[in-house]
Chains A and B, each alone.
Chain A
Amino acid sequence: MERCISVNTIRVLLLCCIGIMPCAEAFAAQREVVLVVAANSPLHEMDSLEIRKIYLGFTVKRNGKNIRGLLNTSNSTLNDIFLQSVVAMTDKSYRRRLLSMTLRQGIPRPATYDDLIRLQDALLANPYNVTYMWKESADRMTDVRILRVLWRKN
């Protein structure tokens, strides 16, 4: 009897593994960081240089309005990927660079959000705000629109 349970347990575990593995693989393969705006935002395209400029405190405008970048620190992996692939800096270098811009030019540092709900609220509050997040987070949110893919796991 004990042997039967044991064999059955192993079978169940194996089946679960077989079932889970492709899902995890598919999830990992689809892992993407995306740039998002409010659904009603007039922003439609933005190149990599413009995104880098926004997050380094330089002026980027559309329709005469300044575009503001919001920092998403809800997930450290996400933030590291964004900083390395888009801003081309480590977290430490980036923090120093922002401090320096504030000290030199009087440019306030981008607002930082470690909570996705508050980030979404801030994004919706201004159609010229942009931020980044995992694609699956963006897919779950209503009222936000993906502007472009910033990073994709190979």
Chain B
Amino acid sequence: MMTYSRRWIPYAAALLAFFHAPLANSGGEHDFLLFLSGGPTYHMVTPYEGLEEGDIDANADVLYTYLNGRFRLLGEYNQSIHESELERLQLGWQGGDETIGWIGRFHVPSNYWNTVYHHGQYLQTSITRPFINEFEDAGGVLPTHSTGFMLETAYGLAGTAGLQAALSVGTAPVIGRDSLEPFDLLNPDSSGRAAVDMRLAYLPDSLGENQAGLLVSGASLAVDGNKLAEQQGLQRVDQLTLAAYTDWRWQDWRLLANLTAVVNRMKRQDQDQTDSFFSGYVQPEYDFGRGWTLFGRLEATSNTNSSDYLELFPDSLTDRQMLGLRFDFYRNQAITIEISHGATIADDFGQALLQWSAVFP
């Protein structure tokens, strides 16, 4: 799929260039962002543990937006050493001051971390993502992309408080050879069953960023090429996810926390089976000033040894204790270091990461 998608890059670039001039001169507003990041990862493992000792990542994420009256267009393309993918392509229609409907490929609203950071690595304090928020192609076990329809709206409460709600209906990923594979707009062979996602958030200041909320997702994940799943006679997984989260700032402190319950109904040829697990994390951050931020994350997942569903993703880091330091410098650039101890279903090991990230212009 990766190779297939790469063939479309020149076409996508040409399409963007073709539309850019008329769009820019049509009286609307547009913006362009280029997120760059990269750096080495060191795994403290022996050669027998199945992981490379060292790894290098380099990533470029291009975002283009266009706004004209009620109409909105958003496209995001991500290119890295490991992948090349049209992440988002959304057409929006603003029905009211606080309501917008989207069609296209988007990040599901039931994954708060991704709806805040998407692929904009510079904006997230940490280098790594929590296990439960990982993208499908990076070891994620929950859907993060969908193609269909999404509605976002907000309601004012007493004073400055507000509620935000988002609902989407679209395609679910399939359980592919090594990972979940979401529907790919640039690949006509791509397929997927249905997914419904929802986020409801309370904001004490509707213009601020502090919030707490509930996330609900239902997805039907068909098996398509996963050998272990096929050996088990697994045909599909009907997955229900419920989560509560918070993202709160107090002066120089910030706290990101999430608790997710996942129930998988494993549809096999002979019989159905229910499988469930919990996953949670707490990530405190402290801004020292002068660009320095200290942060850490504790995350844990239950039933990792007994979940048939998690067994399909043996390389995913389900547990982690991490400490990191970030230095923001110049204009929109940062250097971050992370040291952690993590565990997959079979292994546990130390990890050290160093990353430069930036956004232009």
Contacts and interface: CB of A to CB of B under 8 A. Distances in A.
A19 to B, nearest CB: 42
Contact of B72 (A49, A68, A97, A106): A106
A103 B72 contact: no
A130 B100 CA distance: 24
Interface in A85-102: 92, 95-97, 99-100, 102
A135 interface: no
A53 interface: yes
Given A68-B29, A97-B209, A106 B328 contact: no
B65 A95 contact: no
B173 to A, nearest CB: 22
A95 B29 contact: no
A108 B29 contact: yes
Nearest to A100: B123
A121 to B, nearest CB: 16
Given A52-B207, A59-B94, A106 B123 contact: no
Interface residues of B, number: 31
Contact of B63 (A60, A66, A103): A103
B33 interface: yes
B209 A109 contact: no
B354 to A, nearest CB: 22
Contacts of B115: 104
Contacts of A111: 29
A53 B207 contact: yes
A58 interface: yes
A95 B74 CA distance: 20
A43 interface: no
Interface in B90-143: 90, 92, 94, 97-98, 100, 115-118, 120, 122-123
Query: Chain B's interface: helix, strand, loop or mixed, by majority?
Result: strand
Contact of A107 (B67, B98, B120): B67
Nearest to A103: B120
B30 interface: yes
Contacts of B66: 106, 108
A82 to B, nearest CB: 16
Contacts of B29: 68, 108, 111
B155 to A, nearest CB: 14
Contacts of B359: 99
Interface string A48-72: 0100110010111100001010000
B332 interface: yes
Interface string B1-37: 0000000000000000000000000000111010000
A53 B328 CA distance: 27
B209 A102 contact: no
A106 B116 contact: no
A109 B31 contact: yes
Given A61-B97, A97-B209, A100-B123, A106 B33 contact: no
Contacts of A68: 29
Given A68-B29, A106-B65, A106-B92, A99 B120 contact: yes
A58 B207 contact: yes
30 contacts: A49-B207, A52-B207, A58-B97, A58-B207, A59-B94, A60-B97, A61-B97, A66-B69, A68-B29, A92-B328, A99-B120, A99-B123, A99-B332, A99-B359, A100-B209, A102-B33, A102-B63, A102-B65, A103-B117, A104-B115, A104-B116, A104-B118, A105-B100, A106-B66, A106-B72, A106-B74, A106-B90, A108-B29, A108-B65, A108-B67
A-B CB proximity, top 10 nearest: A106-B74, A108-B31, A106-B65, A108-B29, A59-B97, A103-B120, A106-B72, A102-B31, A103-B118, A109-B31
Interface of B: 29-31, 33, 63, 65-67, 69, 72-74, 90, 92, 94, 97-98, 100, 115-118, 120, 122-123, 207, 209, 328, 331-332, 359
Given A58-B207, A108-B66, 13 more contacts: A56-B207, A60-B97, A97-B209, A99-B33, A100-B209, A102-B33, A103-B118, A106-B66, A106-B67, A106-B90, A107-B65, A108-B31, A111-B29
